Chains A and B, each alone.
Chain A
Amino acid sequence: MKDNCVIEVHNLTTAYGGAPVLWDVDFELPGGQIIGVIGPNGSGKTTLLKTIMGLLEPSSGYVKILDKDLDKVREKIAYVPQRESVDWDFPASVFDVVMMGRYRSKNLFKRSNKTDVAIVNESIEKVGLTEFKSRQISQLSGGQQQRVFIARALAQKADIYLMDEPFVGVDAATENSILKLLKEMKETGKTVLIIHHDLQTVSDYFDYLVLLNTRLIAKGTPQEVLTEENLTNAYGGQLTLLAKVANLIKVNQFPIREKDVDL
C-alpha cells in the first residue's frame, strides 16, 4: 500500500439481483483531498459508496479504510446518503437529526451530554442553519435538508466523509456554501469523497477523480481523467457489450466469477 492512502478498494465486485453493478473495481484514494466519483446513471456510483460503507456485501474483493477493516475505524468515517433516500415527513427537528451524528453503538443507551449538544450546535452553525435549529425537517427546502445531512456528518467528527450526490436539487447559493465548507474541511486534513453528476463543474470542484461505468474507467487528477477517450469510454456507447454480458449473467443466474480464481 502506498503512503497517504485512506481508502483502498481491492478488486471489488458487487452484484444487485444477480447482475454485477461494480465489476473488478480497484483503486487507492489519497487522503486530504476532495475526490469526485463520476460516471453516467446506473454506473455503480452509489453502489460503490454503499459497498465501502458496508451497506452492501461485495461478491468478491474487499475494502480497507486507513489500512484496516471498516468495523475497526467506523468512527473515522461519515456517510451522507442521498437526500431522497429518507422520508422528510419524519417527526424530527433539525437539531434531532444532527444529534443522530453523535449516536454511536457505544452510547446508544445514554442521553446526550453537554459536549454532544455543543458539537451539534457548532455543526448546525457551520452549515448556516442556526436560525432553523428547532424547525421541523419537513418544513425545510431541498437545499436546507441537504445541509442538515451534511451537518449530521460534521457532528460525527470523522476524518473521511462519503457523500452521495450532495449537490442534487440544491440552489446555486447552497452549492457554493457547501463547496466552501468542503474546502475548509480539506484544509483541516479531512478527506471527502463525493458522488457528482455535473461534468461542467468537475474540474473546479475536485482534486482527484474516479471515473466509473460498472468497471473503473480512469482515476487520477482531473487533467488525467477528463480526456476525450476516457469520457467516450464512460459515457459513449463503448460499454454496451459489457452491459450485454452483465445482463446475460443475470438472466442465466451465472456466477460472476469462478470460486477458485477469486482475487
Chain B
Amino acid sequence: MTSHQSLKKVQTFIDFITFKDPNVIYVVIGMVCITASSALIGTFAYLRKRALIGDAIAHSLLPGICLGFIAAGEKNMFYLFFGAFLTGWFSTFLVDFIVNKSKVKQDAAIGIVLSTFFAFGIVLLTYIQNGNYSDQGGLNQFLFGQAAAINRDELILFEVILAIIAFSIFIFYRAFILVSFNADYAKSIGLPVKFIEFLITSLTVLSVAAGIQALGVVLMSALIVTPAAAARFWSHNLPRILLIAVAISVFSGLVGAYVSYVNVATPTGPWVVLVLSFITLISFLGSAQNGILASYLKSRANKRKILHENILKTIYHYHENQQHIDQLDLTVTASQLLEIRLVDTDQLQKGLERLIQMDLLTPLNSGYQLTTKGRVESRRIVRLHRLWEQYLLKRTSIDALHVHSGAEAIEHILSPELEQELERELGIKGIPKEDF
C-alpha cells in the first residue's frame, strides 16, 4: 500500500466520524437506532427461549415488503414497512397456531413457516423485477442489507421505533421479566400474560422490520439473538445485560455501516454479523465467569498445584527412606525423585524450577534442598494425605489396598478448616506414620 492510499483511507475514516457527508449522519444514527432496538427487545426473546422466532420473522418480512411495493407501485418506505410488519407478525401467529393445534414442535413449525414465507417473497421479488415497475432497483438490497441507503424519512421511523421499544421496556419491565421467567406465575397473580406476550412479539417484529433495509432479511435475526447471548457471558444482572447487549450491537452496526460506506458495493448485513459473531466468540472464550479461557486457566492452575505438591511429597518420602524426616534438609536430585515417583521428566523439571521461584526449594550442587517454607509445605501435604487415608479406613468400608489411590487426589483440595475437622474426628496430631 502506498502512503497516498493509506492517507486516503485515514481521510475517509475522518470524513465518516466527523459526518462530513450529511448522509453519514443518517446512516450512523439510523444504525444506532436499529441495532439498539433489536438488542433491547431481542434480550427478552432470548430469555424467553424464543430466539429462533426472530429468524422466522425476518424471512417472513420479504413477501410483506414486496406486497407493500406492489400496493404502492413504487418504493414507498411506509408501504414497505407496513407490509413487512404485517407478514412478520402473521408468521409468528402462524408458528404459534401450528404448535398449539398440531403435534408439530416449535422448531419444526418455525422451519416450515420461515421457508414458506421466504419462498413466497422470492417469487414476488422475481415478479416485480420482471414487471413494469420503474423504481424497483434496490429492492434486492432487502436480501443482505445496505445501510448507506438510509435516508431522512426512514431515520425518523427508526427513531420512533427505538423510542417505542425503550419506552415499553421501561414501562412493562416487571411484566416482561415475569413473563420471561415464569409465565405460569405471572398468570397466577392475574397479569394479562397473553397481552404481554403479544406485546413482546409485536415489538420484536417492529425491530426486525426496522432493520430489514440496513441488514437484510437473511441476517437480521442475528441482531435479535446474538447481542443478548454475548452479553449473558459478561453479567448475571438483567439491566446490565441489556446495556452490554446494546453496546455490542451498536458497535457491530457502526463497523458494518462504515465498511459498506467505504466500499459502496458491499452489503452491510454480513459485516455487522461477522463483527457481532467475533465479539460473541471473544465473550465465549474470555469472560471471567463462564469463559473457556477462565476454565482453562483454572484447570492449568490446578494441574500445577497438584504437580508441585506431589514433588514436595516425594521429597518428604525420600527423607523418610533415609530416616531423616526430623530435619528434612538432605539434598535430593531429580533422578532420586524419579526413583520414588515416576513423573514426566519435562514436567518434573518445570515443576522444580517453579518451586525454586516460589521459594520452596533452593538449588544446591546438582540437586535441590527444601527451604524452611518448603519443609512446612511438604509436611502439610503428607499429613493431609495420611489423615484422609485414616479417615477413609475408619469411616468407609474401603480396602486397605485402595486407600492410597483414594486419598491421592483429595490431599490437594482439603482446606485448613477440613484439616482441623479431620484432626478432631480422628484424634491424630502430627503426621501419621502409616503410608499405604
Contact = CB atoms under 8 A, between A and B. Distances in A.
Interface stretch (B60-68, B141-149, B233-241, B400-408): B233-241
B190 A74 contact: yes
Interface stretch (A47-55, A203-211, A228-236): A47-55
Interface of B is mostly: helix
B171 A79 contact: no
B190 A108 contact: no
Interface stretch (A22-30, A85-93, A241-249): A85-93
Q: In which size bucket is the chain B interface?
A: 20 to 34
Nearest to B235: A91
A87 B181 CA distance: 7
A104 B188 CA distance: 10
A132 interface: no
Contacts of B237: 91, 93
Interface in B112-165: none
Contact of B189 (A86, A91, A109, A156): A156
A133 B274 CA distance: 39
Interface in A58-106: 71, 74, 77-79, 81, 85-87, 90-93, 96-97, 100, 103-105
Contacts of A50: 184
Interface string B353-387: 00000000000000000000000000000000000
A138 B236 CA distance: 9
B47 interface: yes
Given A71-B190, A74-B190, A87 B185 contact: no
Contacts of A77: 188
Given A91-B235, A91-B236, A91-B241, A108 B174 contact: yes
Interface residues of A, number: 29
A136 interface: yes
B171 to A, nearest CB: 6
Contacts of A81: 182, 184-185, 188
A87 B49 contact: yes
Contacts of B175: 108
Given A103-B174, A136-B236, A90 B189 contact: no
Contact of B185 (A54, A90, A100): A100
Nearest to A81: B184
Interface string B205-236: 00000000000000000000000000010011
Nearest to B237: A91
Interface in B157-209: 171-172, 174-175, 177-178, 180-182, 184-185, 187-192
Given A71-B190, A109-B171, A103 B241 contact: no
Contacts of B238: 91-92, 96
Contacts of A90: 47, 180-181
B172 A55 contact: no
A54 B187 contact: yes
Contact of A85 (B174, B178, B182, B191): B182
A92 B237 CA distance: 6
Given A91-B237, A92-B238, A138-B236, A103 B180 contact: no
Contacts of A156: 189
A74 B190 CA distance: 7
A71 B188 CA distance: 10
A86 B188 contact: no
Given A74-B190, A156-B189, A92 B177 contact: yes
CB-CB nearest 3 A-B residue pairs: A79-B188, A74-B190, A136-B236
Interface of A: 50, 53-55, 71, 74, 77-79, 81, 85-87, 90-93, 96-97, 100, 103-105, 108-109, 136, 138, 152, 156
9 contacts: A54-B188, A78-B188, A79-B188, A81-B185, A91-B235, A91-B241, A92-B181, A100-B185, A156-B189
Given A87-B49, A91-B235, A91-B236, 5 more contacts: A81-B185, A92-B181, A93-B237, A100-B177, A108-B191
